[in-house]
Amino acid sequence: MSKSINVTLRVWRQAAPKAKGKFETYKLNDISTDASFLEMLDILNEQLIGEHKEPIAFDHDCREGICGMCSLYINGHPHGPDSEVTTCQMHMRHFHDGQTITIEPWRSAAFPVIKDLMVDRQAFDKIIQAGGFVSINTGGVPDGNAIPIPKAAADEAMDAASCIGCGACVAACKNGSAMLFLSAKVSQLALLPQGKIERAARVKAMLKMHDELGFGNCTNTGACAAECPKNISLANIARLNREYIKAKVKD
């Protein structure tokens, strides 16, 4: 049975990328515990608009945990305190009456703030463009048995492909590393026959772009996997390292 709670919000406000930001405090009353976190922010914005104040800018699209756009840092956790969910899947039942909730954008040099809670995540697109593709014509959808692929490899590739590129791994990492994201994209192609042709060139190009964009190095603390809403495994980072070593040996 749903109930209503009152919450205090400390929200990061920043007018522009180079503007000085600060936390502003807002109070919301009678918020249904069945409301999603983004619905709560919608209610806050309606309240601000009613008071003739600037609404809070935040990113969202599908609100189904698929697109990865709802990238918010909530009380010290990417996507909030619940595990294996995105911000849009977080509900107010996870907070208690009278609680103060601190909401921030991703904090990373590679993800500059656009406005308020929105960040520029084009860096991920650039990593993908650097080598996350296959050049061969794979044609239409083949018969399921046309290309023999071991089930274990297919399952691992599908698990890696479930990465939605939200950036929670970067936000959680003390070094601002995107290795979990990068390794998932390398793994999903390297594990399948269609992706093996360019595997050496791909991993080198994507790692080079990763470093050029200002992401940090991985020190295997595991915070990225712990905060990942899609439960991407650290084993992908080990595979990435092996792929890179093999590529350099070939050179």
Range 172-186 average pLDDT: 96
Residues 6 or more apart whose Cβ sits within 8 Å of residue 95? 5, 7, 101
Give the full edge-to-edge strand order of the sheet including 22-32. Answer: 22-32, 4-13, 100-104, 73-74, 77-78
Q: Give CA–CA dist 219/177, Å, rounded.
A: 9
Q: What percent of the chain has pLDDT over 90?
A: 88
pLDDT in tens, 98-123: 999 999 999 999 999 999 999 999 99
Closest CA to 99 of 4, 8, 3, 2: 8
Residue 251 exposed, middle or buried by CB count within 10 Å (0-12, 13-18, 19+): exposed
Taking the C-alpha atoms of residue 77 and residue 142, their distance in angstroms, rounded to an integer, is 42
Across the range 75-84, mean pLDDT stands at 94
Distance CA 237, CA 241 (A): 6
- Tell me what pLDDT residue 107 has: 92
pLDDT confidence tier of residue 195, bands split at 50, 70 and 90: confident
Mean pLDDT of 67-89: 95
- What is the C-alpha separation between 146 and 148, in angstroms, rounded? 6
Q: Positive or negative, the Cα torsion across 59, 64, 81, 24? A: positive
User: 236 vs 140, which has greater pLDDT?
Assistant: 236
Task: Please state at what angle helix 235-250 crosses helix 179-190, rounded to 10 degrees.
Answer: 70
The burial class, CB within 10 Å (0-12 / 13-18 / 19+), for 222 is: middle
Strand-pair category, 73-74 with 22-32: unpaired
d(CA 10, CA 101): 6
Sign of the Cα pseudo-torsion (187, 189, 171, 174, in order): positive
Confidence of residue 70 (pLDDT cuts 50, 70, 90): very high
The yes-or-no verdict on residue 32 having pLDDT over 90 is: yes
Alpha carbons 112 and 18: distance in angstroms, whole number? 9
Strands (E), 108-198: 113-115, 118-119
Contact 92, 37 (CB under 8 A): yes
Give me the pLDDT at residue 81, please: 93
